[in-house]
Structure 1
Amino acid sequence: MELLGDDPDPEIARLVSASAGAAVARLRLLRAALGPAGPARPGGEAQALVRAYLEAAAPLRFDLGWQVGADEIDGARLRLVLALVMVARDALPRGGSIRVALAADDAPGLDGLSVAFHGGGAELAAETRAALAGQVAAFSPRTAPAGWAALLAARSGTAIVVEVGVDGGRMAT
């Protein structure tokens, strides 16, 4: 804002503010998804993190469904949920809906986790599906979240099952 001078155009100031807010939302989600697992987080806090990330994709619109069977989500499960949300968001070029379902924390390992997506033109690219299956040696910016999700799942002794349908799909452990 300092670069705009003392009397910035209100429209420019609004655009700069919106861009900064979107960047902060993306960075917060990336820090939580890619950083150390850390302690458990309240489910509401995790949901707010995902919602802010999806809202940062304006003008695309996303509907978030959130069904979590526990008050808190442990760090390992949260990182996997966030990585799969990034994959789902990337599979929705025109916006759509993302549904997160997570069983109670007493489910073994990372079991009981599901991220579904649906929207016009939704598609998981072949290289993304391969990365989710852990079958990619070198990752691109598009496949990195999927590869990270596969690595997190493998570390916990599980794998990601991918179901693809017309204009949508589901990734689950």
Structure 2
Amino acid sequence: MADSARSPVTLDGLDLAALVASRVCHDVISPVGAIVNGLELMEDGADEATAELALDLIRKSAKTASARLQFCRIAFGAAGSAGSAIDTRDAQMVATNFFNDERTSVDWQVPAAYLPKNRVKLLLNLLMLGAAAIPRGGVIRVETVGEGDETGFAVIVTGINSRIPPHAAELLAGIPGNEQGTIDAHAIQPFYAGLLARAAGMTVTIEKIDDKVALRAV
């Protein structure tokens, strides 16, 4: 790999905003597209059975789109608040709605508290990395490390064929994983998590332990 690809990079504000927006759109475009498909089925004069299937598709996809938008609102946005703290109960709600499904469950062991905004946003981004480490599903366990405004987190995921997402450690450190030394829409999420960690004065580690992948931010 070229030396330039091993050096940390800095994105200007416009590029960072564009890449984060692209990531959010990627997360919601699939369920929104499914809603459109369901509506088109109904508009085409579907029979009763097909119409019921279309309605079920619309209901499930609308729920999924809502869950993803609510999660992204906190993980990537300003959380609709001018304050400097976020309630961990709000983070628990959006995380559970976002990740809980027939393949994956969230074991949330974070006590209710108002924590600095960037720390909570970092936690949600660590959950995204954790979920990416268990592509076939599993358990995402979330714990706190320390207490008060200096609270850190441990996200430990367990699942079949768990693995550290490609270039996650480099991207968390602000180092691109490609030979071009650039950050694209696929890499922006772990890169953004690293930005949040540094803004919060925290260090993130990721390691594979047996059938688990552990992320820690302290």
Q: TM-score, normalised by structure 2?
A: 0.68
Query: What SS does the aligned partner of 1:94 have?
Result: coil
Deviation at 1:104, TM superposition (A): 5.9
The aligned residue for residue 172 of structure 1 is 216
- Give the Cα–Cα distance (whole angstroms) in 2 for the partners of residues 160 and 42 of structure 1: 22
Give the counterpart of 1:148 among 189, 192, 217. 192
Deviation at 1:123, TM superposition (A): 0.9
Whichever residue aligns with residue 143 of structure 1, its letter is: A
Counterparts of residues 118-133 of structure 1 (less than 5 Å) = 118-133=158-173
The aligned residue for residue 36 of structure 1 is 78
Query: What SS does the aligned partner of 2:105 have?
Result: strand
The aligned residue for residue 140 of structure 2 is 98
2:86 corresponds to 1:73: no
The aligned residue for residue 53 of structure 1 is 98
Deviation at 1:102, TM superposition (A): 2.2
Seen in structure 2, the aligned counterparts of structure 1 residues 163 and 2 have a Cα distance that, compared at 3 Å, is: closer
- Give the Cα–Cα distance (whole angstroms) in 2 for the partners of residues 149 and 47 of structure 1: 18
- Give the Cα–Cα distance (whole angstroms) in 2 for the partners of residues 156 and 134 of structure 1: 15
Greater C-alpha radius of gyration? 2
Query: What RMSD, in angstroms, separates the aligned Cα atoms of the two structures?
Result: 2.3
2:161 corresponds to 1:116: no
- Give the Cα–Cα distance (whole angstroms) in 2 for the partners of residues 72 and 104 of structure 1: 14
2:128 corresponds to 1:83: no
After the TM superposition, list the runs of 4 or more consecutive aligned residues in structure 1 that deviate by more than 6 angstroms.
Answer: none
Q: TM-score, normalised by structure 1?
A: 0.84
8 Å contact kept, 1:65–1:99: yes
Where structure 2 has 5 or more consecutive residues not aligned to the other structure, the ranges are 1-37
Deviation at 1:33, TM superposition (A): 0.8
8 Å contact kept, 2:169–2:205: no
Structure with higher helix content: 2
Whose relative contact order is higher, 1 or 2, with alpha carbons under 8 Å and at least 6 apart? 2
Instruction: Report percent identity of matched pairs.
Output: 27
